[in-house]
Structure 1
Amino acid sequence: MPTDPSDARWLAAAARLAARGRPLSRPNPAVGCLVVAHDRLVGRGWTQPGGRPHAEAVALAQAGDTARGATVYVTLEPCAHRSDRGPACADLIAEAAPARVVVGVTDPDPRTSGQGIERLRAAGIAIETADCAASRASLAGYLVRAEHGRPHVTLKLATSLDGCIAAVTGESRWITGEIARAHVHSRRARADAILVGGGTWRADAPRLDVRLAGLEARGPRRVVLSHGAINGVTTIAAPAAIAGLEGVQYLYVEGGAQTAAAFLAADLVDRLELYRAPILIGGGTAALGDIGLPTPAPVALADTHGRWRLADRRQLGSDTWEAYERARTGSE
């Protein structure tokens, strides 16, 4: 993070702004940009639908001449490559002549990586780069795709207090309340694709759409984990096949239990979102199947600690929502 608390605050604000571009910015990452002069916001932008204009172009156009001598905060290193769809953002910023540019995350794209920063330095602009946690979180899908060759995966589970996703009869509608279900739809609207297992698809025929007023068009691409072809949806035979989902940066996995276990066993879950209802079922369907923990049991339990970090927690009516991030080492 930047050493100046003011820089950290503005970068965090740019990261929150970037969320407005997701997922409509695809195939480009959702980037946020702020132009600040004398501690006053004079321009802001986020990546527009279809990927253009870029966040920097929108923010600089809004700032106009006030960008000269100002500070530009941008979550991702400004692009250095020219395109038929628009100019390189590093060139646009150089022309605007701000005094400083603070970059949240350097771009892993080889067409830009380091080159955008060097081009700005060559133009006489002071540059500060930071491994900003807020910027990195806002670009999770883009960075995971670049670093691991697959989408960022969020696994959603809705359970009772005793960890069941359905009654002993198989009934699962509805474990959580209306507010929590609306929240799920808002999460779907942020995803490029949504995945369920073949058993869930055949048993429940889920719509997997977004049913929130004004966001109905945000329904993600539907994917089913199945060995057989299914009309109207994309099918993949194994969790590792998500690498081949072209154009997908954010994948939202909704289960069921065996599919959730398969993704966890393959260590492909980056974020776990758990909705917990204040009910007890007892003897129902467990939220997870076997995820392949090593044996013997005492070693297995010890090894599970430190793998998940609480990132957020909210009360949604009578239900509780918790989000956990997978804590990975540099080798994972």
Structure 2
Amino acid sequence: MKAITLTDSQDPTSLALAETPTPELRDGEVLVKVHAAGVNRGDLLQAKGHYPPPPGASEIIGLECSGVIEDPGTTDRDRGEKVACLLAGGGYADYVAVPEGQLLPIPEGYSFTEAASIVEVACTVWSNLGMLAGLKEGQTVLIHGGAGGIGTFAIQLCKQLGANVAVTAGTSEKLETCRELGADILINYREQDFSEELKGRCDVILDIMGAKYLRQNLRSLAEDGQLIIIGLQGGVKTEINLGALLPRRLSVRGTTLRARSVEGKAEVVRSTAEHVWPLLADARISHHIHTVLPLSEAAQAHALLGSGEVTGKIVLEVDA
């Protein structure tokens, strides 16, 4: 099969199609013929050598895809079944082996390309804001990077949960996109201090920045507020006054989806299918695709995502 590989381990932009062995199935896995694969920041980090796959997972980049079951292996699935897949790796390829518990149906009315754009974001947002934080109607949630792949999905889901949604973004155009998706409070982080705007008001914060925003995030939290850190784009180390947490009973929680066990991912997928997929089927939540490129242009896709100019998701079409 063909897959995207790094031709130079010292150059994260050296992504090119190459012949690689077709995955061998383990017990409980199916072989999926990939039609489309979503592009995520974790993919960029892996190409740079900073986000290796879990032990035993494919070394090929790609955390989500959609396609057709080619070989059901030892499972009871059907050959030819259309599926969307949450992956620990392997999506940038013709074929990928997927544990059965990480398969989702294609949302009603969605193409393969559209389905590949929402698996990772849907599972990430729901597992953190729905399953972990238990976001409730009437609460205020702050979403950093509101115009990105995670953000554009999170805004819509949070509005469906009845939350008041604040977002940060770096341009008026991106903030306008957030407003159109339902965001209530728009903050340009280049011009405004979000902690001044939201001091003591946020019940939940979904953070992709890490160290850079930690103090401001804590200042923004309401009593019993939860800070959920899912990314470290702003660094990994900083100092805080722990005394700021105790009087307001604040929680700081760090999570990642990729490192979960197969059983843990299966539970996330099951819950996402139950609670989020119906919202996609009747268009209460929609995908937000920035652009679509052929798999052979994975390097260009990574460069575009890394530029900061993307609103929503980039998708690679494998059979374009």
In the superposition, the TM-score normalised over structure 1's length comes to: 0.29
Higher relative contact order (CA 8 A, sep 6+): 2
In the superposition, the TM-score normalised over structure 2's length comes to: 0.30
